[in-house]
Amino acid sequence: MYKKKKFNIAIVGLGTIGSHLYKYLEKNKELLAKKTNIIPHISYVSAKNFKKKRNFKIPKNKWLKNYLDVTKKNDVDIIVELIGGAEGPAKKLVFEALKNGKHVVTANKALIAKYGDKLSHIAEKNRLNLEFEASVCGGIPIIRCIKEGLIANNIIKIQGILNGTSNYILSSMDKDKKSFKDALIKAQSLGYAESNPSSDLNGDDVAAKLKILSSLCFNSFLNHHIYVEGINTVDQIDINNANKLGYKIKLIGVSEIYNNKLIQRVHPSLVKESSYIAGINGVLNAVIVDGKPVGQSIIQGEGAGPEATTSALISDISSILRGNIKYPFALSSKERKNIKVDSISNKNFSSYVRLDVTDRHGVLANITEYFAKNKVSLKRLIQNPIFTKKYSSIIIITHKTKDLHLMKTISQLEKKKYIIKKPKLIRIED
């Protein structure tokens, strides 16, 4: 009978994800061996606090106090990096692992978004796998889908909801009528948001994921020219106004070829309530890919959490076990390209604008004059009184115009004395 080969795995980082992966591999190694014809064996683990009490046992001979030691061990074939962060130990580990001939599997979007090109070059040179399916949208196999399933397509646009935390907060504000603060507290209590959720709320998390997807879609090197805006300024008033106008507010990441140039952007958007993306609620993620000849492909699922992330990690590990040595970004570094970029300021948008103003004669006329001067045509205008007759909230929906013109208008208006709060602008996504 044919004897199955053994592949040795080291896991570095034993937080929620690392612990879940360890238990899964130990429990399901026979099943994975049947599917890959290779036995996955955990040879070592390393974590910041090896004395921490865990609900499972790890043999003492598997522990390494110095995480970098796994890169030098002969009985390690695959290193799974679950430390996190673009710098520090995670960066040292992955660079050393690839230099020392070890395959790498990681869920670290920040690291790949910043150093993916350099790491990919080392992996290619040493004929190693650098796998990062778990870095983007957890349980959604979007990276493998782009690299393999959509390989025949010329992709022109990728967009979607790429962060479960922000989506949960916006959904909760909409459905449960919670304030931003209360929705965040609820998300934290349920484990959907970290104690420090800044990267989820300010758009940085989505930006890192979008850079990775963009590079894969357009066969380019990682491009760091990206417009980023988070959900921090979205409040209940905007949610309610959007509903009245037939829209939902979502944090959208979009990467597209526009006038033969790449535009990458992350920002809250008004989307039609009848659209597919408007129905993605809670912690779900969804990605929409526009390509030729396939047309539009949609994939959705759990974007985060130990189960979803473990699913993606196991997929990458299994691919290595099967002996699939492939380029990390689908093409070799020689074949990837630098792509021309453009600013969001040159793209045409319709937009939602909210101006809180002192309610006095001539204010409305003055506001519309500024829009006209900057070549911004108004599609709809609504004036709502606020509590007293002294203040009004003016809601404007613009026709499509260059973002540059719109931002110039807002910049000019916010200096006017009759503007009592910073103007609110949310772009409308067609």
Looking at residue 386, its pLDDT comes to: 66
pLDDT digits (tens, 9 = 90+) for 27-38: 998 888 888 888
Let me know: does 327 contact 385? Beta carbons within 8 Å.
Answer: no
Tokens of 141: 């196999």
Superfamily of domain 5-131 in the CATH hierarchy: NAD(P)-binding Rossmann-like Domain (3.40.50.720)
Which residues carry out catalysis?
A: 209
> What is the C-alpha end-to-end distance of the chain, expressed in Å?
60
Mapped onto helix, strand or coil, the DSSP state of residue 123 is helix
Write the CATH number of the domain with boundaries 142-303+336-342. Answer: 3.30.360.10
The one-letter amino acid code at 421 reads K
pLDDT digits (tens, 9 = 90+) for 112-152: 999 999 999 999 999 999 999 999 987 788 998 898 888 87
Tokens of 249: 């507010």
Looking at residue 387, its pLDDT comes to: 58
Output b/e per residue, 256-289; b: 16+ Cβ within 10 A: bbeeeebbbbbbbbbbeeeeebbebbebbbbbbb
Closest CA to 112 of 416, 316, 366, 379: 316
48-62, 327-341, 353-367, 396-410: segment of lowest average pLDDT: 48-62
Fold of 345-428: Alpha-Beta Plaits (3.30.70)
Tokens of 275: 């659209």
From its phi and psi, is residue 74 left (phi > 0), alpha (psi between -120 and 50) or beta? alpha
Let me know: does 210 contact 162? Beta carbons within 8 Å.
Answer: yes
Q: Which distant-in-sequence residues (6+ apart) come within 8 Å of 327 by Cβ?
A: 120, 124
Average pLDDT of 149-175?
91
C-alpha 188 chain-centroid distance = 19
Closest CA to 424 of 253, 243, 231, 295: 231
Dihedral pair phi/psi, residue 349, rounded to 5°: -135, 150
pTM: 0.91
Q: Angle at CA 305, nearest 5°, toward 308 and 64?
A: 95
Domain ranges (residues) in the chain: 5-131, 142-303+336-342, 345-428
Same fold across 5-131 and 345-428:
no
